[in-house]
Amino acid sequence: MPASTQSERKRHGQHYTPSDLAQFLAKRAAAYVPAGKKLRILDPACGDGELLLSAANILMQRGYDVAELVGLDLDEEAVNRARTRLAELDASTSLTVRDFVRVLDEGAPLGGFDLVITNPPYVRTQLLGADVSRELAARFHLKGRIDLTHAFVAIIKSLLLSDGVFALLCSNRFLSTRAGVNTRQMLSNDYCVHEVYDLGDTKLFEAAVLPAIVIAGKGNRRVPADSAIKFTRIYETLEAGAPSRGYASVLSALENKEDGRISVGRKTFTIESGVLVNGNPRDPWQLGQGRDAQWISDVLAGCWKTYGEIAKIRVGIKTTADSVFIRDDWDALPEYIHPETELLLPLITHYDTRPWRVNTTPATKVLYPYDLTAPRRRLLSLADGYPRAMEYLKSHEERLRARRYVTEGGREWYEIWVPQRPSMWAGPKIVFPDISERPQFSIDKSGAVVNGDCYWISCADLPSMDIAYLMLAVANSSFGVRFYDTVCGNKLYSGKRRWITQYVEKLPLPDPADDATRRAIELARKLCDSAIAIEMSHDILPELDALITEAFFGSQKKKVARQPDLQLSILDVALEPLEL
């Protein structure tokens, strides 16, 4: 069935490659295409032919003999447009309506390509469906969440000639997420990666997907063996400072090998260039600039434990019906459906977080129908003791019952999908938002509930409150930001970072017995004290930053060896399913 309308294209993940981006991808691929051959080029998701057209034009302009262009796509209308566009080229074309993921099952010959250039449809597990996802996982030996990029990367290695080139345009999520482990593993094991571009929030697509580019060859042997993989990333910056040069587009700046600040219209971007750090494909692919490897080694030498080794990092509650359970206008409701006050609990959202301590009185409240004294979820009897809350929920019964997964899980139709541990809300906890430009790790002692746009750590799980203050001191420091950017580095847009379990658990802690560490704990406790004036924090923060650096990088005689059962690299934390 054609998928040419905007809504259908979005549903099928069909975001056709803009011309300037297609040309940039083709130019980077052309730098590695072997000369002196009649070239065969494939785009396994060719759409309207933009990538094939760009690759052929760029290579022909450089004197290559392009003999055949092969394209596949499920959209018949798009394939017909591609035929028309490619007809002007002096090359044989073979465009068919065909499912590339099934190509190895169909028996028809396909292979022997000098260049495969593609932008796979970005369709995640939720849209692929459980059956298709399971089938792809079994066929290509994939684990975790599946998208079509995984399948494409797995198939293409068998279609390339021994000196063939693979030019991939895809979501940059594979660079840093657990779901991207499949792709990172295959690219590391089955390809020789030449260049990686994280194009970040450059808005080069009409889709919300942040793009990345990988240029690779077949096989994993590098010549010379110690040659580095080029890595470039570009993100919009909101920080003050004059850009170095103005450009018509971010791509023209990249083609000019620009590094540092640039301006494109009214926006300012920062381009960073270096080498790829990917010693373990289970870890994020990161930009390295030579000194980073030594810096991380020194951090490990000064590491006592990681956050993940001493803390359970939880995501906040997930109601899956926020407009019913979460409001800031409960008092506007009629009395007969105004839930009983004891069920309306303050709710910390990302709007309430800031470094060191949360807002004292969150404006938002959540209807939380659980026994707060119970260590695990225990639903209150609303019909017996809370009639107004029951009437309110009944007024939204149709919507709440539509969440069939709740009742199919043996729960009442009016329950919160993920209520977390009710009795833990009362105690002190560390709270931080899922997404923020700078770290906003704070202490909450109000007993408030934490929303699903934040994460939290119960201080009751920690060895002491001193460790809680130390965790805040490290996370909120400039050291913590550099560690995140070097080891995790999952940036989104306008410099925003994601502070989710798989990254936060890697953050290191220095020895609590170290003199600098103990002083840092004292200062962090002061910053978390609601009585301290904001003005005073400006005097404390520089000293705290210096203390955290000293705690990790002080004289080696201060360093303590990690316990034998803790010989675990920060870069090698066990993988768990990624939170939604």
According to the model, what pLDDT value does residue 53 have? 97
Cα–Cα distance for residue pair 154/551, rounded to 1 Å:
45
Please report which helix (H) or strand (E) contains residue 202, including its range.
none
- In the chain, where are the structural domains located? 13-229, 314-572
pLDDT digit string, tens, across residues 300-357: 888 999 999 999 999 999 999 999 999 999 999 999 999 999 999 999 999 999 999 8
Task: State the distance between the two ends of the chain, measured CA to CA, in whole angstroms.
Answer: 31
Tokens of 323: 């407009």
Phi, psi dihedral angles at 516 (to 5 degrees): -65, -40
Count of CB atoms situated within 10 Å of the CB of 519? 17
- Helix, strand or coil for residue 176? coil
Please report which helix (H) or strand (E) contains residue 207, including its range.
none
Please report which helix (H) or strand (E) contains residue 545, including its range.
helix 534-553
The residues, ordered by sequence, that sit 6+ positions from 100 with a Cβ below 8 Å of its Cβ are: 44, 45, 72, 152, 155
| CA-based nearest residue to 282, from 566, 580, 568 | 568
Write the DSSP string, 233-298. Answer: EEEE--S-S--SEE-S-HHHHHHTT--EEEEETTEEEEEEEEEEE-SSTTSPPEEE-SHHHHHHHH
Phi, psi dihedral angles at 215 (to 5 degrees): -115, 125
Beta-bridge partner residues of 436: 497
Tokens of 390: 């029951």
- The amino acid sitting at 443 is I
CATH match for 13-229 among 2.40.128.50, 2.30.140.10, 3.40.50.150, 3.30.9.10: 3.40.50.150
- The amino acid sitting at 116 is V
According to the model, what pLDDT value does residue 264 have? 92
| CA-based nearest residue to 185, from 157, 222, 223 | 157
DSSP 227: P
Cα–Cα distance for residue pair 26/169, rounded to 1 Å:
11
The residues, ordered by sequence, that sit 6+ positions from 226 with a Cβ below 8 Å of its Cβ are: none
Beta-bridge partner residues of 370: 379
| CA-based nearest residue to 365, from 349, 343, 385, 345 | 345
| CA-based nearest residue to 303, from 501, 517, 478 | 517
Cα–Cα distance for residue pair 129/520, rounded to 1 Å:
49
- Helix, strand or coil for residue 211? strand
Residues of the chain short of pLDDT 70, as ranges, are 1-15, 103-109, 123-133, 135-137, 139-146, 206-208, 223, 225-226, 239-240, 242-243, 278-280, 289-293, 489-495, 530-537, 555-580
Please report which helix (H) or strand (E) contains residue 31, including its range.
none
Count of CB atoms situated within 10 Å of the CB of 455? 21
Our measurement of the distance from residue 452's CA atom to the centroid of its chain's CA atoms, rounded to an integer in Å, reads 16
Please report which helix (H) or strand (E) contains residue 76, including its range.
helix 76-86
- The amino acid sitting at 81 is R
Four-CA torsion 103, 106, 110, 116, nearest 10 degrees:
0
Count of CB atoms situated within 10 Å of the CB of 580? 9
Ordered alpha helix ranges (H), 287-403? 291-301, 307-310, 322-325, 382-385, 387-394, 397-401
| CA-based nearest residue to 194, from 223, 157, 236, 156 | 223
Cα–Cα distance for residue pair 410/403, rounded to 1 Å:
12
538: left (phi over 0), alpha (psi -120 to 50) or beta: alpha
Cα–Cα distance for residue pair 533/120, rounded to 1 Å:
53
DSSP 326: E
Tokens of 543: 């000293």
Instruction: Tell me the torsion sign for CA atoms 276, 191, 52, 3.
Output: negative
Cα–Cα distance for residue pair 441/450, rounded to 1 Å:
13
Using only the alpha carbons of the chain, give its radius of gyration: 27
According to the model, what pLDDT value does residue 560 have? 42
Tokens of 114: 């000098």
- Helix, strand or coil for residue 35? coil
Q: How far is CA 456 from CA 131, 232, 319, 393, 504, in A?
A: 34, 33, 17, 28, 11
* Preceding peptide of 224 cis, ω within 30°: yes
Our measurement of the distance from residue 458's CA atom to the centroid of its chain's CA atoms, rounded to an integer in Å, reads 24
